Chain A
Amino acid sequence: MAKTANKKISRRQFFFIIVQTQMGVGVLSLPFDLHQAAKQDGWISLLLASMAIQLIIVAMWLTASTFPDDDLIAFLPKLFGTIIGNLLSVAYYLYFICICVLILILYGRMLHLWILPNTPFWLLAILLAFTGFYLISSGLLVMARIYTFVSILLVIIFFLLVFALRDIQLVYLLPVGQTPVPQIFKGAQAAILAMLGYISFFFLYPHTKGTPTERLKTMSYANLFVTLFYLFVVFVSFTYFSTSEIAFVPQPVLYLLKAIELHIISRVDLFLLSMWIVSVATSFSTYLFMASKGVTDMFHSKKPSRFALFSTITIVIASLIVGIDEQPIDSFTQFVTHVSMVFSTAMPLCLMLYTVTIHRFVRRKRDGKI
């Protein structure tokens, strides 16, 4: 670990960490969520969300490049002073823990519904949480290698969905533009939720090789890649299911593969589900990594795994308290959506504004340039 701890990750690895973090638990239900909000115009919402995220990425980049060697938890106190900075760090820590809990219960629910109706949730939660813990305790470089390696699964998922293309009806995408604009924006909110992982930029930026512009470019490519992949998934689901049918199918991606039979694999949906778990585990691990990194730095500790273990156990217990019944999950999802709007969209923008105006001004003054 000591060997790899201070090594920077390459830009390719950076790309795959962002992609794997952004894609995760949401991909299976994304078409349904979009459709609920914006009907067959949901893909417009997706594009809107992607553009909004691109703006946020630029904002994050402006902030992060001011502090080239610090991650979020390290530069918050530098920006706002120790007290407010640390308070914000704690808030971010709790936010990451909440997202981990959400990922865990959504994953537990999906497995419970689709393949493991009798297996208790605590077991599924522990399995995923400790896989994540194991992964992050090896450090960022090892994580990056694993993420890059498992990205081959995305290619397989893509080709599985291609099989559905022969039964699609393009007419289901039409008429375009019948959804009122507020609904489209609501859809965009749902799409942002499925693409949330971009906040990890703050943590990866200082550990990535390359000039600031190169890193921004890689980040933008990652966002573009996720958008295109999602767009394909949404396109297949919207045209495979009719406009009224998709309202009955909360996990359209799995459902459409359920009706496909290949020569070797009789139930393609279960095959996809297994690969999806990897995607979930990577998203989970990144958030767990950010949470434990944050709390370790806050306490200036030299023993990161202790904090990681603490966070993991907290997450498992919290997810067991929320449980996997429909009602609590829905309210918890609502809660995390609202919180995310603050921490993942509003905060990066505020940080950027604060950095480029007040902070720069103060620093220049201190340096005696004014």
Chain B
Amino acid sequence: MAKFKWSPLVLSLLLLTGCWDQRQFKNVKLVLAAGIDAADEGQVESTVVITNVQSSSEGPGTEQTQIISAAGHSPLNTRTNIDQKISKRYDQSKLHVLLLGEELAKQDIYPSLDMFYRDPKSNLHAQLAVVGGKVKDALSLSVSGEPRISEYITGMLTGERRSTHLPNTNIQLICSELLEPGQDFVLPYLVVNQEESVLEYRGLALFSGQSYSGRYLPAEKAVLFLLMKGIRGADAQMTRKIGGDDHPDVNDFITVDVKEIHRKLSFDTKGSLPKVEMKLKMEADVLEYPPNHLQSAKKINELEKRIEKDLTKEAKEIIGLLQETNSDAFGLGRRLQAYHPKVWKKLNWNEEYADIEIDPTITFEIQSHGITN
């Protein structure tokens, strides 16, 4: 054995010194936010935001952003074209936000995402959003007080997620719903407000199959929609009108924070088309109610009934919109397949989804009303 005593040392010297696979920060341009638009003649146009750090002799370096666009046949082709406009090479392994232009999203979005799924270096937890209009305009915005557009957008989306306006989405998480039949997904829908030079969160873009249906669920309905999906962020506030006439004033509104939700889905498969019954039980705190008479149980009960009616109506509207756009964002099809595989096999879900009967029932319970009555 003595002969081999030194062999590990010699081997380490020989083998552990070289490095073929180093990727040094100084050789790349990091892209933190990128977007893809549809361009003419079936081409796509990518826009990337590159942050350059100018090092200075003292203190932290200053940051400058560079916005570059290029068209090409495919997302990766545009990347090559962008590379020809910048110094060094661009690297999207630290991507934080990927925006999809509305027109592009209306076509199949899978081709735009394929390069991310395939590349071992890509960042799959980058956030995704659909932009009404052009992505290029959104990324070119200079928002005052927000030097990095990527941080601005991720911050905005994180905020919306905490307030239950958005489900947790990233490139990877939508993939399962993108590919699975009987399950669709939603993405945040942003629009550019040129006057104030900001982006605005408008609601949830409804996808059908692999493409954007062209319609979005407005932000005020997003909370109920997510609660119906069983998702709740840090808080889930809803403001609803509970009284007054055609000329409502501030006294006619109540704001509640839904604390707990329980969902029960059941399928009735006796008829030719399955019927879906969605039972939701919500427990909420009252956050704001100016009329100020929440002492009696009777009063609270009345209020609960009123809200129940209102929410059930709204739930029906949401389901109506989903069926109209043929977006199965509740994943009802996959659940039907799971619990009634025989029924599922007989159905052509994509065609029949719009015609099935979905019946929501909401029970609403006020569990506390703050530190005053």
> In the bound complex, how far is the Cα of B12 from the Cα of A123, in angstroms?
12
> In the bound complex, how far is the Cα of B2 from the Cα of A1, in angstroms?
11
Closest to A309 in B: B4
One of B167-175, B216-224, B289-297 at the interface:
B167-175
The one of A114, A245, A260, A261 that contacts B120, using a Cβ cutoff of 8 Å: A114
> In the bound complex, how far is the Cα of B21 from the Cα of A123, in angstroms?
13
> In the bound complex, how far is the Cα of B175 from the Cα of A260, in angstroms?
14
Assuming A114-B120, A167-B173, is B180 touching A244 (CB within 8 A)?
yes
Could you say which residues of chain B place their CB within 8 Å of the CB of A137? 1, 4
The one of A127, A130, A260 that contacts B125, using a Cβ cutoff of 8 Å: A260
Say whether B180 contacts A259, CB under 8 Å: no
Number of A-B contacts (CB under 8 A): 78
Could you say which residues of chain A place their CB within 8 Å of the CB of B7? 134
Chain A nearest CB from B233 CB (Å) reads: 13
Chain A nearest CB from B10 CB (Å) reads: 11
The reply to whether the CB of B347 lies closer than 8 angstroms to some CB of chain A is no
The one of B4, B20, B338 that contacts A116, using a Cβ cutoff of 8 Å: B20
The reply to whether the CB of B238 lies closer than 8 angstroms to some CB of chain A is no
Say whether B11 contacts A245, CB under 8 Å: no
The reply to whether the CB of B276 lies closer than 8 angstroms to some CB of chain A is no
The one of B15, B120, B175, B339 that contacts A126, using a Cβ cutoff of 8 Å: B15
Chain B nearest CB from A258 CB (Å) reads: 5
Chain B nearest CB from A299 CB (Å) reads: 19
Closest to B120 in A: A114
Chain A nearest CB from B89 CB (Å) reads: 15
Say whether A171 contacts B334, CB under 8 Å: yes
Assuming A167-B173, A259-B170, is B117 touching A248 (CB within 8 A)?
yes
The reply to whether the CB of B341 lies closer than 8 angstroms to some CB of chain A is yes
The reply to whether the CB of B331 lies closer than 8 angstroms to some CB of chain A is yes
Which residues from 2 to 16 on chain B have a C-beta closer than 8 Å to any C-beta of chain A? 4, 7-8, 11, 15
The reply to whether the CB of B160 lies closer than 8 angstroms to some CB of chain A is no
The reply to whether the CB of A218 lies closer than 8 angstroms to some CB of chain B is no
Chain B nearest CB from A222 CB (Å) reads: 30
The reply to whether the CB of B337 lies closer than 8 angstroms to some CB of chain A is yes
Count how many chain A residues have C-beta atoms less than 8 Å from C-beta atoms of the other chain: 36
Could you say which residues of chain A place their CB within 8 Å of the CB of B15? 123, 126-127
Closest to B334 in A: A171
Say whether A305 contacts B124, CB under 8 Å: no
Could you say which residues of chain B place their CB within 8 Å of the CB of A261? 125
The reply to whether the CB of B176 lies closer than 8 angstroms to some CB of chain A is yes
The reply to whether the CB of B183 lies closer than 8 angstroms to some CB of chain A is yes
Assuming A130-B11, A260-B125, A261-B125, is B183 touching A242 (CB within 8 A)?
yes
Closest to B117 in A: A248
Chain A nearest CB from B33 CB (Å) reads: 17
Say whether A305 contacts B4, CB under 8 Å: yes
Assuming A137-B4, A171-B335, is B175 touching A245 (CB within 8 A)?
yes
Chain A nearest CB from B276 CB (Å) reads: 14
Say whether A171 contacts B170, CB under 8 Å: no
Say whether A171 contacts B120, CB under 8 Å: no
The reply to whether the CB of B177 lies closer than 8 angstroms to some CB of chain A is yes
The reply to whether the CB of B141 lies closer than 8 angstroms to some CB of chain A is no
* 9 A-B pairs with least C-beta separation: A174-B338, A259-B172, A242-B176, A242-B180, A118-B20, A259-B124, A175-B341, A119-B20, A245-B179
Known: A171-B334, A260-B125. 6 other contacts (CB 8 A): A114-B120, A118-B20, A126-B15, A130-B11, A174-B338, A259-B170
